Amino acid sequence: MIRHTIATLAYRGHKVIKGAPEAFARFHAGGKTRTPVEILAHIGDLLDWGLSIASGRSEWHDTEPGTWERESGRFFGGLKAFDDYLASDAALESEPERLFQGPVADALTHIGQIALLRRLAEAPIRGENYYVAGITTGAVGPDQAAPRKEFD
């Protein structure tokens, strides 16, 4: 289930990342909110942390956000590294439930924040029936299945 959730992160993450206008990365909704690129960098940190927990190290790093392209690449690289570890014969050094409730669920929340910021920045993504989406365990790269049922 954790690997399928990682694939779901890839699918939903791809949807909010692709086609974002250039200025979107630095869009600021106000107050003390993070910009989209700061959120995406944080998701990269969460994925790195999840992998470190899974492998028994539990290391956290706050990464200085780079460009949208760099953080997008880091997002998919982090998903792949995490998924590769989970798919391997290596020992899982954490309860899967705790991996889910910590870094994985937090990353899902932040993907939703980016989707909301896209709408606020007047660059919305289309809604989708994710129940019928072509999400496949192990498919964690930037090449994702086309949406099957989108709506406005």
pLDDT tens digits, one per residue of 4-28? 999 999 999 999 999 999 999 999 9
Q: Which domains does the chain have, with CATH numbers?
A: 2-151 (1.20.120)
The pLDDT score that the predictor gives to residue 125 is 97
* Crossing angle between the packed helical segments 105-120 and 2-17, to the nearest 10 degrees: 20
Spans in the chain with pLDDT lower than 50: none
Burial class of residue 48, CB neighbours in 10 A (0-12, 13-18, 19+)? buried
In the chain, the N- to C-terminal Cα span, in Å, equals 30
The pLDDT score that the predictor gives to residue 25 is 98
The pLDDT score that the predictor gives to residue 152 is 82
What is the chain's length? 152
Q: Dihedral of CA 136/139/144/145: which sign?
A: negative
